[in-house]
Structure 1
Amino acid sequence: MGMALAELVSGLGGLLFLWSAVQQFLPENFQYHIQKWFSRLPNYFIQHMHITFEEYNNNNGRTNEAYTCIKNYLGAKSIKKAAYLKADKSRNSKSLQFTLDEGDEVIDEFQNVKIKWVAYQETVKESGHGSGRNSMPFEKRSFVLKAHSRYRDLVMEDYLNHVMKEGKSIQFQNRKRRLYTNNKDEDCYWKGGRWSYINFQHPASFDTLGMDPLKKEEILDDLDSFKTGKDYYKKIGKAWKRGYLLYGPPGSGKSTMIAAIAKYLDYDIYDLELTSVRENAELKQLLIETSNKSMIVIEDIDCSLDLTGARKNDKKESGDEKDGEDNNKKQSSETEEDKNRSKVTLSGLLNFIDGIWSACGEERVIVFTTNQVEKLDPALIRRGRMDMHIEMSYCKFEAFKILAKNYLDIDSHPLFGEIRQLLEENEVSACDVAENLMPRRKWRDDHVEICLLKLIEAIKNQQHKKGKKEQKEEEVQEQERSTKFE
Structure 2
Amino acid sequence: MGAESWAGIGPAIASLFFLYPMVKNYIPPQLRDYVAVVFQKVLFFIRPYTDITIQEYRGERMKRDELYTAAQAYLSSTCSSRAGKLKAELGRDSDTPLVTIGDNEKVPDSFKGVKVWWYAGARSPKSQTISFYPGEEESKYYCLTFHKDHRNLVEGEYLKHVLRQGRNVTLQRRQRRLFTNSPSRHGYKSSVWSHVAFEHPATFDTVAMDPEKKREIIDDLVTFREGKEYYKQIGKAWKRGYLLYGPPGTGKSTMIAAIANFLEYDVYDLELTAVKTNTELRKIFIETTGKSIIVIEDIDCSLDLTGKRKEKKKEKDDEEKEMKLPGMEERDDNSKVTLSGLLNFIDGLWSACGGERIVIFTTNHLEKLDPALIRRGRMDMHIELSYCTFEAFKVLAKNYLGVENHDLFETIQTLLCEVDITPADVAEGLILKKSRNKDVGACLKNLIRMIEVAKEEAKKKAEEEEAAKQKEEKPKIEEQLATTV
**TM-score under structure 1 length normalisation:** 0.86
Matched, 1:210 2:208: yes
Equivalence for 1:146 = 145
| Partner secondary structure for residue 314 of structure 1 | helix
Give the superposition deviation at 1:463: 0.7
Kindly indicate whether the alpha-carbon contact (under 8 Å) linking 2:432 and 2:446 is maintained by their aligned counterparts in 1: no
**Residue 247 (structure 1) aligned with residue 227 (structure 2):** no
- Which residue number corresponds to residue 4 of structure 2? none
The one-character-per-residue Cα deviations of 1:398-432 (angstroms, maximum 9, x if unpaired) are: 11101101110001000000100111111110000
Cα contact 1:78–1:85 (8 A) shared by 2: no
2:315 aligned partner, one-letter code: N
| Unaligned runs of at least 5 residues, structure 1 | 1-5, 126-131, 319-325
The CA deviation at 1:169 is: 0.6
Q: Give the aligned partner of residue 482 of structure 2.
A: none
Q: Deviations over 1:453-486 (max 9, x none)?
A: 1111111101101111122222223333444427
Q: Identity over aligned residues, as a percent?
A: 47
The match for 1:322 is: none
**Gapped regions of structure 2 (runs ≥ 5):** 1-10, 480-485
Once residues 423 and 312 of structure 1 are traced to their aligned partners in structure 2, the CA distance between those partners, rounded to angstroms, is 47
The aligned runs of 1:47-196 (5 Å cut-off) are 47-58=48-59, 62-125=63-126, 138-187=137-186, 190-196=188-194
Tell me the distance in 1 between the aligned counterparts of 2:319 and 2:77: 73
The residue that corresponds to 1:283 in the other structure is 281
Paired with 1:317 and 1:451, the residues of 2 have a C-alpha distance of 54
Q: CA distance change for structure 1 residues 304 and 9 in 2, over 3 Å: closer, same or farther?
A: closer
**Superposed CA RMSD:** 3.2
For residues 60 and 348 of structure 2, the distance between their equivalents in structure 1, rounded to whole angstroms, comes to 35
Residue 437 (structure 1) aligns with: 430
SS of residue in 1 equivalent to 2:346:
helix
Kept in 1, the 8 Å contact 2:118–2:145? The answer is yes
- 1:289–1:37 CA distance, 2 compared to 1 (3 A): farther
Q: 1:56 to 1:207 in 2, by over 3 A?
A: same
AA matched with 1:410: V
1:94 Cα offset (Å):
2.8
CA distance in 2, matches of 1:81, 1:258: 42
Structure 1 334/107 Cα, relative in aligned 2: closer, same or farther at 3 Å?
A: farther
Equivalent residue, structure 1, for 2:442: 450
Which of 203, 216, 219 lines up with 2:217 in the alignment? Answer: 219
Q: Do 1:437 and 1:455's aligned partners in 2 also have CA atoms closer than 8 Å? A: yes
| Cα shift at 1:184 | 0.9
In terms of mean alpha carbon deviation, does 268-277 or 82-91 score higher? 82-91
Q: Aligned-pair distance for 1:44? A: 3.6
Letter in 2 for 1:82: A
Amino acid corresponding to residue 81 of structure 1 in structure 2: R
Relative to structure 1, is the Cα distance of residues 12 and 242 closer, same or farther in structure 2, using a 3 angstrom cutoff?
closer
Superposed counterparts of 1:2-81, under 5 Å: 16=21, 42-58=43-59, 62-81=63-82
Aligned partner of 1:464 in structure 2 is 456
Report what 1:3 is aligned to. none
Relative to 1, partners in 2 of residues 1:316 and 1:379: Cα closer, same or farther, differing over 3 Å? Answer: closer
- SS for the counterpart of 1:147 is strand
Query: For residues 284-330 of structure 1, what are the alpha-carbon distances to aligned partners after superposition, in whole Å with 9 as ceiling and x for unaligned?
Result: 11111110110000000001111134123236689xxxxxxx99xx9
Q: Supply the AA of the counterpart residue of 1:424.
A: C
How many residue pairs were aligned? 453
What are the equivalent positions in structure 2 for 1:301-380 lying under 5 Å apart?
301-308=299-306, 309-310=309-310, 311-314=313-316, 336-337=330-331, 339-380=332-373
- CA shift for structure 1 position 88: 1.3
Name the SS of the counterpart of 1:99 in structure 2.
strand
- Aligned residue type for 1:355: G
Amino acid at match of 1:138: E
Superposition TM-score, scaled by structure 2 size: 0.86
Measure, in 2, the Cα distance between the counterparts of 1:435 and 1:59: 55
1:475 and 1:93 mapped to 2: Cα distance?
Answer: 61
- Assess, with a 3 A threshold, how the Cα gap between structure 1 residues 40 and 400 changes in structure 2: closer, same or farther: farther
Deviation, 1:20, is 9.1
> d(CA) in 2 for partners of 1:413 and 1:372?
36
